[in-house]
Chain A
Amino acid sequence: MSDKKRLDLEYSQLESDRMRINVGPQHPSTHGVLRLEVEVEGEIVTEVVPHLGYLHRCFEKHCEKMTYLQVIPYIDRLDYISAMNNEWPYVMALEKLMDIKVPDKVEYIRVIMAELNRIANHQIAVATFGLDAGAFTPFLFFFRDREYIIWILEKMSGARLLYNYFRVGGLAADVYPGFKEDCLNIVKQVRKTNAEVMDLLIYNKIFIQRSANVGVLSPDVAINFACSGPVLRGSGVKFDLRKDDPYSIYDRFDFDIPVGLGEVGVVGDCWNRNMVRVNEMEQSCRIIEQAIAQMPDEGDVKALVPKRIKPPKGEVYMRAENPKGELGFYIVSNGTDKPERIKARGASFVNLSVIPEISKGYMFADLILILGSIDIVLGEVDR
């Protein structure tokens, strides 16, 4: 089946000129300002060259000039769809360097925030992937639910999209009354919508024909390109930092790591990558339910937040499982209140590098779908 879809280049004996097409940076399906230089033969893609840098926002330069606390808002703006998840590895890295043990309540709130944001991110990813394939209704369904999640995050942090909520050793604010009920209602709503979307989009015959057997990424190629997150798990590799290198309190929860099973199409195609995201939403719901049941009510979330962050000399690397994949921060401290250097390892940038590999030999229309299934965000690619 997979060979049938991957059109053989030698099969067409027609002499045709190769044509170079420019896609982006202004294009509704490039998920931002990515520019792709595509070489096509007829309608078959023979080469893809991504051009980056249209959203380069000087992240590392800003880190040199700012204090440790001032860096947090810039980290929000890396992967702006899942800002809570972004702040976490940075804050954890500084806690590791300064040797701070975070209270239990803070850890639980962080887990709930991160998982809520993971659901919101996957909702956008699946919604826009559907949009690329021509399905508009799931987009409206997912954005309706996402708005309820955003309302919780807004009540907690004061912002809708870029939160600036995590602090070294704690959080910016405590939970509000009625937080637990709100979260449980969200979990219910997310499950209901996912069941609807299963019929509307995921098992829709047209959608399966568009996305199954397209953009097959084999596990060894995925590992060689250092892919992570749903892109890697869609290829059947069971690797998730929450299980394999447990940080925070993820070892206290009971959840599964969804991988691509090849239920429709073959393992590693666009459909399976997308399915991993849908399944991860369910697992995030499970984590939120357990975290809310275990969360202690007493405790001060700001008790251990230092007035002035001045870590000792040294260097530290901390990584966490972002919705897009593995996000790591490498921090070099010179003993002052400003970092010497901060390097971010963004998952989107690494995952994007696999595009030229997996889109060769497919139709030009499939290239847009492959790009959508990788779920990149250009703020993290260009930084």
Chain B
Amino acid sequence: MGLLDRLDDPYEGGGIILGKVEDLLNWGRSKSDWYLHFGLACCAIEFMAMNASHFDFMRFGTIPRTSPRQADFIMVTGTVTFKMADRIKILYEQMAEPKYVISVGSCSNCGGPYWEHGYHVLKGVDRIIPVDVYIPGCPPRPEAFEEGMMLLQKKISHQAIFNKRKRLESEV
């Protein structure tokens, strides 16, 4: 995030950047997120449009992977039924750390239109896996996908990497 801007600084000019290694790693991590190619329902059609000519999702550095083991984040696009819920949990557990979740659409945020009478629909995917970014809409516009992706990149670029183990131990 803005590493190259520092070259304009007269004090630090001449090709030398002073900064934290953490910033460099986070810059790399946030700009090349690979996602699990996984569509559930209506939102997946908007996600296909997002991947196609007009919106070109790949300019965010995202590449679809069909295996959860190669993915950095998972997009839950659509209604999560009870039957599908444990599948999503298994897929999430197969992903390697660090991993992120984007919940797309009302259905996976909270149950959406099926919230009240849906006897078979999970009321929010955050009941089974932790969600980082919620994208509202039924279905969300492709612009909303872009906004959600940028929010995730922002989140990743501000994360602490070092001393993480120590920090986690202190939290426990």
Q: B40 to A58, Cβ gap below 8 A?
A: no
A79 to B41, CA, bound (A): 10
Q: Please report which residues of chain A, range 19-40, place their CB below 8 angstroms from some CB of chain B when the two chains form the complex.
A: 25-28, 32-33
Known pairs A55-B40, A58-B117, A160-B139; A147 contacts B49 (CB<8 A): yes
Contact pattern, A 112-156, Cβ under 8 Å of B = 1, otherwise 0: 000000000000100000000000000111011011001000000
A146 to B41, CA, bound (A): 19
A8 to B152, CA, bound (A): 53
> Which residues from A are CB-within-8-Å of B38?
26
> Which residues from A are CB-within-8-Å of B54?
143-144, 147
A155 to B164, CA, bound (A): 50
Q: A160 to B44, Cβ gap below 8 A?
A: no
Determine if B69 is an interface residue (Cβ-Cβ < 8 Å): no
Contact pattern, A 154-173, Cβ under 8 Å of B = 1, otherwise 0: 00000011100000000000
Contact pattern, A 49-89, Cβ under 8 Å of B = 1, otherwise 0: 00001111110011001000000011001001100000000
Q: Please report which residues of chain B, range 37-61, place their CB below 8 angstroms from some CB of chain A when the two chains form the complex.
A: 37-42, 44-46, 48-49, 52-54
Determine if B83 is an interface residue (Cβ-Cβ < 8 Å): yes
> Which residues from A are CB-within-8-Å of B118?
57-58, 61-62
Determine if B114 is an interface residue (Cβ-Cβ < 8 Å): yes
For A62, the closest partner residue in chain B by CB is: B117
Residue in contact with A379 in the complex, picked from B41, B52, B120, CB distance below 8 Å = B41
Q: Please report which residues of chain B, range 110-150, place their CB below 8 angstroms from some CB of chain A when the two chains form the complex.
A: 113-114, 116-121, 138-139, 141
Q: B41 to A32, Cβ gap below 8 A?
A: yes
> Which residues from B are CB-within-8-Å of A65?
116-117
Q: A162 to B138, Cβ gap below 8 A?
A: yes
A150 to B53, CA, bound (A): 14
Q: B141 to A160, Cβ gap below 8 A?
A: yes
> Which residues from A are CB-within-8-Å of B40?
32-33, 55
> Which residues from A are CB-within-8-Å of B141?
160
Q: Kindly state the interface size class of chain A when it binds its partner.
A: 20 to 34
Q: A32 to B117, Cβ gap below 8 A?
A: no
Determine if B81 is an interface residue (Cβ-Cβ < 8 Å): yes
A27 to B40, CA, bound (A): 11
Q: B41 to A378, Cβ gap below 8 A?
A: yes
For A139, the closest partner residue in chain B by CB is: B52
Contact pattern, B 73-105, Cβ under 8 Å of A = 1, otherwise 0: 000001101011001000100000000000000
Known pairs A77-B113, A140-B53, A161-B42; A55 contacts B81 (CB<8 A): yes
Determine if B66 is an interface residue (Cβ-Cβ < 8 Å): yes
> Which residues from A are CB-within-8-Å of B78?
55
For B40, the closest partner residue in chain A by CB is: A33
For B42, the closest partner residue in chain A by CB is: A80
A26 to B141, CA, bound (A): 23
Q: How close is B66's CB to chain A, nearest CB, in angstroms?
A: 5
A74 to B116, CA, bound (A): 13
Q: A54 to B114, Cβ gap below 8 A?
A: no
Between-chain CB contacts (< 8 Å), 13 pairs: A26-B36, A26-B91, A33-B84, A54-B81, A54-B84, A56-B120, A57-B79, A57-B120, A62-B118, A65-B116, A143-B49, A147-B49, A161-B46
Closest 4 CB pairs of A and B: A143-B52, A80-B42, A144-B53, A140-B53
